[in-house]
């Protein structure tokens, strides 16, 4: 999960309280969430939903509240449903969602499991980690098994980009300019707008040389 700054005012159509997924709402959420699912971090997913962070259960004000509308892929929305309704809020400026849950990338493209580890023992952190773990590893239906495997491969592809840049940076024959370019490109991979930035950010945070150089750029 990545940090989101809800920098836009409520779209005008929400005031009519007729349809919470009008085009102006969808467009605004796409900009705010970098066109990524806020749970799995897939960018430009095939099936994208305007989702309620907290289930509205018929509460009209909550149903059309701008602060309660998030962008998620259909798969994550289906897994989350109303069961996971006390999650860490990636839009809360007081919550560091990225550092609250460790995302461990797969070391092979066909890894059977991704490790998602809560860093704190409070209910919201544990529940959020449980949801993310289920998203990347769920096998409770044949469809979910196939789609989870595909999702893990996509994370590995991004991780592989990081490994190439890491190799270029630590190459004993690398010129200073080449090391600078590698660092700049790593900065792009850990930006909130990048796919699966939580996985790559944790690789950086746990590297004793890269962390001091890139920590301030993680998830921004």
- Give strand pairing partners of 118: 101
Digit-coded pLDDT (tens) for 77-103:
999 986 888 999 999 999 999 999 999
Q: Which pLDDT belongs to residue 220? A: 86
**Residue 189 in 3-state DSSP?**
helix
Asked whether 78 and 48 are in contact (CB, 8 A), the reply is no
Torsion, Cα 83 33 101 127, to 10 degrees, reads: -10
Asked whether 219 and 201 are in contact (CB, 8 A), the reply is yes
Residues 6+ apart with CB under 8 A from 155: 105, 106, 114, 136, 196, 199
Asked whether 154 and 75 are in contact (CB, 8 A), the reply is no
Whole-angstrom distance, CA of residue 9 vs CA of residue 17: 16
Distances (CA, A) of 94 to 7, 26, 37, 49, 90: 15, 25, 21, 26, 9
Torsion, Cα 181 186 187 190, to 10 degrees, reads: 170
| Sites in the chain below the pLDDT cut of 70 | 82
Digit-coded pLDDT (tens) for 40-52:
999 988 888 999 9
Task: Please state, as a whole number, how many other Cβ atoms lie within 10 Å of the Cβ of residue 118.
Answer: 19
Evaluated on CA atoms 190, 196, 199, 203, the torsion sign reads negative
Q: Which pLDDT belongs to residue 204? A: 96
Per DSSP, helices labelled H in 12-141 are: 23-32, 60-63, 74-80, 97-100, 123-137
Q: Which pLDDT belongs to residue 23? A: 95
Asked whether 73 and 99 are in contact (CB, 8 A), the reply is no
Distances (CA, A) of 30 to 94, 144, 156, 183: 22, 25, 24, 28
Q: Which pLDDT belongs to residue 81? A: 84
């Amino acid at each position: 999960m990545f940090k989101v700054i809800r920098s836009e005012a409520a779209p005008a159509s929400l005031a009519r309280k007729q349809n919470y997924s009008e085009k102006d709402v969808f467009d605004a959420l796409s900009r705010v969430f970098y066109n990524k699912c806020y749970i799995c971090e897939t960018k430009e997913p095939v099936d994208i939903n305007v989702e309620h962070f907290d289930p509205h259960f018929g509460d009209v004000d909550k149903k059309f509240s701008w602060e309660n509308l998030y962008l998620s892929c259909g798969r994550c929305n289906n897994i989350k449903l109303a069961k996971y309704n006390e999650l860490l809020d990636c839009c809360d400026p007081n919550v560091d969602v990225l550092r609250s849950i460790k995302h461990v990338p797969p070391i092979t493209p066909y890894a059977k499991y991704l490790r998602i580890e809560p860093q704190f023992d409070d209910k919201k952190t544990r529940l959020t980690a449980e949801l993310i773990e289920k998203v990347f590893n769920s096998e409770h239906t044949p469809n979910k098994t196939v789609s989870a495997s595909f999702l893990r491969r996509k994370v590995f592809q991004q991780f592989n980009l990081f490994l190439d840049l890491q190799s270029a940076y630590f190459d004993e024959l690398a010129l200073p300019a080449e090391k600078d370019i590698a660092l700049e490109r790593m900065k792009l991979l850990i930006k909130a707008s990048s796919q699966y930035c939580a996985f790559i950010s944790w690789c950086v945070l746990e590297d004793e040389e890269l962390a001091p150089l890139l920590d301030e750029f993680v998830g921004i």
